[in-house]
Structure 1
């Protein structure tokens, strides 16, 4: 298949998924690449001086080079392991009183990959619920470099209103309209590092920085469970406030996310599981439909080549066969 065959055609609503999914199984993404404080929990009470002293842009932690991504879609950083077919659920809890709140985020690592800015990324499907109603469905693109750094290279966050798509004005893709990839979780976290670039997209007013607060915090507690040896990373923006602190446990991943200096809510990990083949098919299908709409609604997304299946394991191969059968019917 020539590269031109993968270019999106925005006038054909349902053709893109059929073209891509029927004939683009790849062996591995790499083969196709051309060239908190312990006493208060994950939410901080005081911003660190490094985060407040310099409100300007934060530099990249390391230079982004596609050649440094040997097996980029294999997200196995111990602080954020997300193999294909993994689903994590985050449940909101009130910071004042600990009551469960009707805010849930579900993140799924699909069997799909997408080439962005020269790197094959893992396609993550994220959907968010409030009061039992879907409010957002998003495609998130992450990749891991040879040093274990988890990068984010773009996002298509589609708003939902009355169960119908309501646009995605905050879409950004690395390499398009001045957007730059940044690091979500460092491969070798160090408290002594200055703030680093998390993501930047000038066209949508996005500038996020990251800062390692703790590398092995103890007694970081969620409802009914406490964790030790926790990596705490603060994400903040020189343009907006307040910052968010995320807590990661080795071998588990993200276990908590909370706004610093806030009496609002904290998102805690409430579930992590491996999906069945049928569930993986459903998640992949949702991602395919999201991409189909993205090509029609986003000029930024239209600059990308279509997603592909990744032949990662036997379940992924089974999902691909089922998807092909669905498309034929």
Structure 2
């Protein structure tokens, strides 16, 4: 997973640009590129390579230059990148001054990717990022674990959104295509000073990681976590970023407080707690649904009372508590006008996240489907075509995660196909017309 992605290629496909970069980047052997004197700095605004070189580490420090063997690639159990063992991770924070939230979910099935002429089965991780509650980026990331325990990144499909629609697919790449090698994203047993490249197609996608410290202790959502690692990540534009990885979570935080920051709110099953949903959390969920449907002074007061009752009755991760306070305060200030739509959505998202500790991911995701169907009705009625199109994407993302659990998925499949046509055609009236039927079919799924 690469949160807070830095996509620098503009106005060109990865395949075409890879041909231009081939002289510098070398061949497509997994983990290997021809040693080069210079990996060029790429301007973040224009996507053009300059004459200056990135301060990359010496080849002798790199631990990703051996060719990986993949016998059981879908068993990704590396403690610092446990892709096949973590069902869903929620991250929160702020980016560019706006509330930022991501859902990282393990999808069913695998993708076959050819590495050095051999087919490798990769696990698929769905990355969905929301800025101010709205869809910002979607990526399907492909990972495989080598026999020595190292984890390799085999590429990603990226979709960057603006105003609810796909603006570009910059950052998309796949091992074996256009000179792109498989790239190590986590050593088997990282040590201080280790260097590796999670993305290694210079001038297209490129990151070089240097391990700064290992065996650290960090504050997790529900207690201290041992065995964490801090790294410094060098990007194509010459900037660097600090990241922390932690056992049971994988990527744990990016950035720092006071600036752009993304950190784990909670992950399951790592933070799951046996037992029923606490009564106070169930009450909070009910009041939040009411306020999402009809924001106003009375319903928001009920949310505030329910939130105060819940947070004194149960452990709440610090990050989620701060986010809930921020969003609920914004909702209280917004009144019952259009300004309430954004904070009401974010408050509802926060509560679904809190429920993950006690309820299975498919159960929570079914209610996220209902959340996005409510938001679709709100945005279509308000005439916000871009937001409504983004709501359809939100529905499709969650459905991709739970469809295999549904006894009869046909009705929702049909609804979403129709909604996608309406969204692509900017047919707000049709989206508004289709939303109630979808909501009914979602309720039927929840009751089955």
Q: TM-score, normalised by structure 2?
A: 0.46
Distance 1:248 1:107 in 2: 15
Q: CA deviation at 1:187?
A: 1.2
Task: Tell me the equivalent position of 2:207.
Answer: 208
Kept after mapping to 2: 8 A contact 1:150/1:183: yes
The 8 Å contact of residues 151 and 184 in structure 1, kept in 2 or not, is answered as yes
Contact 1:84 1:110 in 2 (8 A): no
Instruction: Tell me if structure 2 keeps the 8 A contact 1:246–1:257.
Output: yes
Task: Tell me the SS of whatever aligns to 1:175.
Answer: coil
CA distance in 2, matches of 1:316, 1:63: 38
How far 1:134 sits from its partner (Å)?
0.7
Question: Which of 48, 51, 64 is the equivalent residue of 1:61?
Answer: 64
Structure 1 residues not aligned, in runs of 5+: 1-51, 95-99, 284-314
1:135 counterpart residue number: 136
Q: How far apart, CA to CA, are the structure 1 residues paired with 2:128 and 2:178? A: 26
Q: Indicate the residue corresponding to 1:288 in structure 2.
A: none
Which residue in the other structure is 2:91 paired with?
90
Q: CA-to-partner distance for each residue in 1:15-36, whole Å, 9 max, x for gaps?
A: xxxxxxxxxxxxxxxxxxxxxx
Name the CA shift for 1:264/1:241 in 2 (closer, same or farther; >3 Å): farther
Of residues 301, 314, 319 in structure 1, which corresponds to 2:405? 319
Judged with a 3 Å threshold, the aligned counterparts in structure 2 of structure 1 residues 145 and 114 are, in CA distance, closer, same or farther, namely same
What secondary structure is seen at the aligned counterpart in 2 of 1:83?
A: coil
Q: 1:180 to 1:59 in 2, by over 3 A?
A: farther
2:243 matched to which residue of 1? 246
Alpha carbons 1:190, 1:212 under 8 Å: kept: yes
Mapped to 2, the partners of 1:321 and 1:272 lie a distance apart of: 27
Counterpart for residue 110 of structure 1: 107
User: Match of 2:405, SS?
Assistant: helix
- Evaluate the alpha carbon distance shift between residue 317 and residue 205 of structure 1 in structure 2; reply closer, same or farther with a 3 A threshold: closer
What residue is the counterpart of 1:217 in the other structure?
Answer: 216
Equivalent of residue 233 in structure 1, options 231, 247, 252? 231
> C-alpha separation between the residues in 2 aligned to 1:93 and 1:226?
23
More helix by share: 2
After the TM superposition, which residues 188-203 of structure 1 pair with which residues of structure 2 at under 5 Å, given as runs?
188-193=189-194, 195-202=195-202
Q: How big is the shift at 1:178?
A: 0.8
Q: Determine if contact 2:229/2:245 at 8 Å carries over to the other structure.
A: yes
Question: Which residues in structure 2 correspond to 1:275-290 (within 5 Å)?
Answer: 275-277=360-362
Deviation readout 1:165-193 (Å, 9 max, x if unpaired): 23312210111001122111211111143
Residue deviations 1:211-257, cap 9 Å, x none?
A: 11111123x447886544311222213x3232222212223333211
Match for residue 266 of structure 1?
A: 261
Match of 1:308 in 2: none
CA shift at 1:55, angstroms? Answer: 6.2
Rate the CA distance shift 1:87–1:178 in 2: closer, same or farther, 3 A: same
Per-residue deviation, 1:122? 0.6
Question: What does the per-residue CA deviation read over 1:104-131, in whole Å, with 9 as the maximum and x for residues that have no partner?
Answer: 1111011121011221111110011111
Provide Cα deviations, 1:72-122, integer angstroms capped at 9, x if missing partner: 11221112223367110111158xxxxx95111111011121011221111
CA RMSD of aligned residues (A): 3.6
Shift of the 280–221 alpha-carbon distance from structure 1 to 2, 3 Å rule, reads closer
- Secondary structure of 1:230 counterpart: strand
Q: 1:123 & 1:79 partners in 2: Cα distance?
A: 17
Report 1 or 2 for greater relative contact order, CA contacts < 8 Å, sequence distance ≥ 6.
Answer: 1
Bigger share in strand: 1
Residues 133-168 of structure 1 show CA distances to partners (whole Å, capped at 9, x for unaligned) of: 111111111111111111111011101222222331
Larger Rg: 2
SS for the counterpart of 2:168 is coil
Judging changes above 3 Å, is the alpha-carbon distance between structure 1 residues 235 and 324 closer, same or farther for their aligned structure 2 residues? farther
Q: Distance in 2 between matches of 1:190 and 1:229?
A: 12
Query: Hey, what does 1:70 align to over in structure 2?
Result: 71
| Unpaired stretches in structure 2, ≥5 consecutive residues | 1-53, 270-359, 369-400, 416-448
TM-score (norm 1): 0.60
